Amino acid sequence: MKNSESEQNFFIESEEEDEENAYNKGEDGEDGDDSDSSFYSNDDGYGNRQNSKPNSYTTSWPQSYRQSIDLYSSVPSPSLTLLGTPSLGRIGSSFLSSTLTRRHTPEVLPSLIKPLIPPVEDEKPHERPPLPSRKSSVTFAGKSEVSHELPISRQCSYGQAVLNGMNVLCGVGILSTPYAVKEGGWVGLSILFIFAILSYYTGILLRYCLDSEPGLETYPDIGQAAFGSVGRVAISIILYVELYACCVEYIILESDNLSSLFPNAHLNIGILELNSHHLFALMTTLAVLPTVWLRDLSVLSYISAGGVVASILVVACLFWAGLVDHVGFQTKGTVLNLSTLPVAIGLYGYCYSGHAVFPNIYTSMAKPSQYPYVLLTSFGICTVLYAGVAVFGYTMFGESTQSQFTLNMPQDLVTSKIAVWTTSRLFCFVYTLTMITYALTMSPVAMSLEELIPSSRTKSYMYSIIIRTALVISTLVVGLSIPFFGLVMALIGSLFTMLVTLIIPCACYLSILRGKINLFQRYMCGLVICVGIISSAFGTYSALSKIIQSLN
């Protein structure tokens, strides 16, 4: 085979040639109707959104967003499915595609090989829109092009999408819902349901934004369509800082739970003395450091689905301790606590910080018309879990409830030990899934920074190691400087989640679809934005004040 041929991309597709021609012909014959009903202007008539990728959305920073968030959120790779079953297909597609489609293309960013804005001749191969088929296709990238811009096929079923949505929504926030009830009182629990409704509404708005024009696939794409390049960069930075803060939370989480299991652990190195809290924070950091150096995390992405199982197991342990082990319940409790209610607002808001991934889930679905039902199911199940844990935890521990309910559970109970261990998303060894979860969460942040590295393979890999090591060490420093799990979570929920979940989706919706929405929709978006701004202002101020007070 000639060298010129080996440098090209080869597509193995299961569709017949006449099927491709028919699709291309159908695209040429599309009309340009731009009426008020054009929320689904890119639909194929069955609610299935068509895909095409304008160059303006694939050459702007961050180019790595889709690939990295897909890995982080366990959105199944569209390349292959295993046995055609929802559960095995979800695992198999992620694993097999990583070995086939990326065997020769590890996590190397386009910036390592081509500039951020490629020349015109490099853009031509990307102008071919992918076929809207559920059938399997495999892409083999040659040496000259290593990219996350693989053709997107819709193979994610309804069940897979629900699992992905739950995996994003049902995270470590569930540990702090009893503490949120303590901070806000029983009346404050209504905030959880209010945020669930508003978050579901803004999740639907993201769909309308994606369907407004071809090529929109991710949250930064929506920001660019609404506010130009400035909007894309600003939204990307907010999303990445939120992910970075979540990595800090993982360090604090591990340190708190492991030090509660082994309170007498300590280490003396000369004049340096590390107590159990500092020791386990350092051990966690050293354990996760090698995982972030990996150039291909796609093999690990399917394991993060264990987060849903781990969350359910933690909830089951709490219920078992209260009902079977007779820890006991308290009938009393604070009805409303206005002084600390803003902290509860941030904690409840953190529970619904999945909007950064919703566009990826939507664009990966085999039947995008089912997206509203996917969101409804995911939000419904997670809200029931959050509310159940909040009520059970607070009635069990009352005013002594700590920022993580696992720290309140009696240490002599077997269920308590299981709950503490599973908060780290593990079943056998504490560090295994923690390292994977941390690495997948930090990966989008690292990959976005690596796009700024000069196009030199040798230097780029060295710079990549330095960047990732610095990020991990910085999370350790921040985690030890602000070791307050609940307050840091409240700060993240108030400052970042309110922006990503409530404010930005409404602002983008108003900007992209201006002139196509009625007055009621404008008022609804304005109301949601006001709720988000007020909640963010009060929650952020309260969380920062308490952090400063605790440090002093």
DSSP calls for 386-424:
HHHHHHHHHHHHGGG--SSGGGTS-TTSHHHHHHHHHTT
Total count of domains within the chain: 1
What per-residue confidence (pLDDT) applies to 450?
87
What per-residue confidence (pLDDT) applies to 166?
87
What per-residue confidence (pLDDT) applies to 418?
62
The answer to whether the CB of 53 falls within 8 A of the CB of 126 is yes
Paired tokens of 49: 């959104």
- Asked, for residue 382, whether it belongs to a domain, the answer is yes
Over residues 483-499, the pLDDT tens digits come to 999 999 999 999 999 99
What are the backbone dihedrals phi and psi of residue 259, each rounded to the nearest 5 degrees, phi first?
Answer: -70, -25
Paired tokens of 536: 């963010």
- Asked, for residue 541, whether it belongs to a domain, the answer is yes
Mean pLDDT, residues 144-154 taken together: 41
Bridge partners (DSSP) of residue 137 are: 13
Using a pLDDT cut of 70, give the percent of the chain over it: 65
User: What is the C-alpha to C-alpha distance for residues 344 and 337, in angstroms, rounded to an integer?
Assistant: 10
- Asked, for residue 465, whether it belongs to a domain, the answer is no
Cα 474 to Cα 153, 183, 278, distances in angstroms = 38, 30, 14
Mean pLDDT, residues 408-431 taken together: 54
- Asked, for residue 189, whether it belongs to a domain, the answer is yes
pLDDT of 244 higher than 60: yes
DSSP 268: E
Paired tokens of 165: 């949505």
Q: What angle, 0 to 180 degrees and rounded to 10, lies between the N-to-C axes of helices 219-261 and 276-292? A: 140
Q: What is the mean pLDDT of the chain?
A: 74
- Asked, for residue 277, whether it belongs to a domain, the answer is no
The answer to whether the CB of 122 falls within 8 A of the CB of 143 is no
| Most confidently modeled range among 21-25, 64-68, 427-431, 545-549 | 545-549
Tell me which of 40 and 192 has the higher pLDDT.
192
Tell me which of 484 and 419 has the higher pLDDT.
484
What per-residue confidence (pLDDT) applies to 301?
59
- Asked, for residue 81, whether it belongs to a domain, the answer is no
How many residues are recorded in the chain? 552
Over residues 460-485, the pLDDT tens digits come to 778 889 999 999 999 999 999 999 99
Q: What angle, 0 to 180 degrees and rounded to 10, lies between the N-to-C axes of helices 371-397 and 158-169? A: 40
Over residues 220-240, the pLDDT tens digits come to 999 999 999 999 999 999 999
Element (H, E) at 10: strand 10-13
Over residues 179-211, the pLDDT tens digits come to 999 999 999 999 999 999 999 999 999 999 999
This prediction's pTM: 0.74
- Asked, for residue 351, whether it belongs to a domain, the answer is yes
Terminus-to-terminus CA distance in the chain, angstroms?
70
Element (H, E) at 273: strand 272-274
Count Cα atoms within 13 angstroms, Cβ side, for 127.
Answer: 5
Q: Which residues contact 149 (CB under 8 A, 6 or more apart)?
A: 53, 58, 63, 66, 110, 126
User: What is the C-alpha to C-alpha distance for residues 459 and 311, in angstroms, rounded to an integer?
Assistant: 41
Domain span holding position 184: 158-250+291-415+485-550
- Asked, for residue 422, whether it belongs to a domain, the answer is no
pLDDT of 422 higher than 80: no
